[in-house]
A and B are shown apart, each in its own frame.
Chain A
């Protein structure tokens, strides 16, 4: 099974400052079709998860451009260029390249 490991698990950030979350997989997420099915989700308190980034770096419709995803193979990063108050919540990486699909443990972003 693919294990997804996020760091840090807690991320206090000052408003307007950048933030970065790492996600590492225990094996390559490159699928047989050549795509890498690694996504980033945001879950605000009391809400369902919302996908921000698909296939490593494709921002979903309506997602602010301060969010960006990079990486390849087993090493991925979500960056927020300037944190805003509405960014508070838990961020998960998610892989659906290999069954069983899996999530990272979650990174709780809070404002300092």
Chain B
């Protein structure tokens, strides 16, 4: 069974930065697309970013382009999301997801507020 564990969430002021991490175990991490998905309080799911298995390509939803960077370290089975210039509307639970959605983490909460 694949385990995904997110960390790094917290409270940050508008304009600030956070770095989220996702530790993966129990799978061939380096073979899988990895994704970040978020869910604002009481709202639906929103795709944030994808990264190819070898890290050679990254894809972002328009609302985070230029502010967020997805990366991975296949040697450490680790996925990251560097979030800069955070806005109030980035407040959400952030999930990492493997491949086509068979595995999700429990999420980490990001709150952007002054």
B100 CB contact (under 8 Å) in A37, A49, A104: A37
A99-B59 CB under 8 A given contacts A49-B45, A105-B44: yes
By the criterion CB–CB under 8 Å, are A51 and B101 in contact?
A: yes
B44-A106 in contact (CB<8A): yes
Q: Give chain A's interface residue range (CB within 8 Å of chain B).
A: 20 to 34
Among B48-80, those with CB < 8 Å from A are 50, 59, 61-62
Q: Which of A48, A50, A51, A103 contacts B46 (CB 8 A)?
A: A103
| Distance to closest chain B CB from A74 (angstroms) | 19
Q: How big is the B interface, by class? A: 10 to 19
Contact mask A47-82 → B, CB, 8 Å, 1/0?
Answer: 011110011000010000000000000000000000
Do residues A51 and B50 form an inter-chain contact, with CB atoms below 8 A? no
User: Can you name 24 A-B residue pairings with CB atoms under 8 Å?
Assistant: A39-B101, A48-B95, A48-B105, A48-B106, A49-B37, A49-B45, A49-B95, A49-B101, A51-B101, A51-B102, A54-B101, A55-B100, A90-B44, A92-B44, A94-B45, A94-B101, A96-B100, A100-B47, A101-B35, A101-B50, A103-B45, A103-B46, A105-B44, A106-B44
Residues of B within 8 A of A (CB): 35, 37, 44-47, 50, 59, 61-62, 95, 100-102, 104-107
